[in-house]
Amino acid sequence: MSGGDWDLRDAASKQKVIEISVGHPSVRFMSKSENLSQFFGEDGRTVILPIDHGTVIPVHGLEKPAELIGRLRESVDGFVVNLGVAIACKDVLAGKGICLRTDGYKPTYPGNADMGSYRLFTADDAERVGAHAMMNMCYLHHPREADNFRECAAVISEGIESDIPVILEALPFGIGRPDDYTVENVGFAVRFAAELGADVVKTTFPTNGTVDDFKAIVEAALVPVIVLGGAAMGDDLALLAMVKNAMDAGASGVAIGRNVWQHAAPSAMAAAMNAIVHEDASVESALKLIP
């Protein structure tokens, strides 16, 4: 590798690990397990904060992402970001797990066709911004599921080649479909994503599901499962109870965004979730962290 190649590749990615061999520096990419360790601690659990909603819906709370990251990074292990935020906020993201959103998805505008999820970025883009993982939607039963599944498979194939883990966000039919998030549908979506080759599966707690229902889904998942939060609930008890139920069912953590950064006290809510996930705190004790 020439000196020019070293400078270009080292500047392009924070994933490099410098090794000293016979007095000369060499470069290698992080292994997949090393990348995953940026999110999952020694306890095998994680609190991930998605802040990728700027391409989905107009939302308040993300106007100054760098300031938000700085306020919440103490209580979270990693962030899900779009490419623009990964570039603009690279300094404040340093030292945390960075998951690049590789697709676009949004609620359908009235009168427009439902395009579901559509892939936008590659593992090369993830490497360029120093991402430790990639995330893509996986919409089981969606009208465009054939295209979506091929795109998920392509991301996974690139992830294998580059050692960048892939988190598939597995949802039946699409986002915002709680009536379709039955135990059967969620279980199938999670197992499908795992069978496709995801390293981690992000999904919803089934509507009206029990701890035992979700436990069966997690145990059949083959890979770690993390639970999402969805739209802001406005109910601290309900949110933390869901997080606790998911962890009791064997989930490996959470990836919850709007219920944190749209909360009246975002840092406190992040700390409360961290307490449940990493310290096995009760819902009651976690609630006491929120003013």
pLDDT along the chain (291 residues), means of 10: 33 45 54 97 97 89 96 98 97 98 90 93 97 98 96 98 98 93 98 98 97 98 95 89 98 97 97 98 98 91
Tell the burial category of 281 from Cβ atoms under 10 Å away from its Cβ (0-12, 13-18, 19+).
buried
Pseudo-torsion of CA 82, 84, 90, 92, nearest 10°?
-70
Helices (H), the chain: 3-12, 32-36, 65-72, 83-88, 90-93, 123-128, 145-162, 183-196, 211-219, 236-248, 258-261, 266-279, 283-287
> How high is the pLDDT of residue 15?
53
Q: Which CATH number fits domain 31-287: 1.25.40.340, 3.90.180.10, 3.20.20.70, 3.40.50.300?
A: 3.20.20.70
Tokens representing 52 are 């990728």
Q: What pLDDT does residue 17 have?
A: 53
**pLDDT per residue as tens digits for the range 3-37:** 333 233 333 444 555 444 444 444 457 999 999 99
- In the chain, residues under CATH classification 3.20.20.70 are 31-287
33 vs 35: CA distance, rounded Å = 5
pLDDT at position 16 = 52
What pLDDT shows up at residue 109?
A: 87
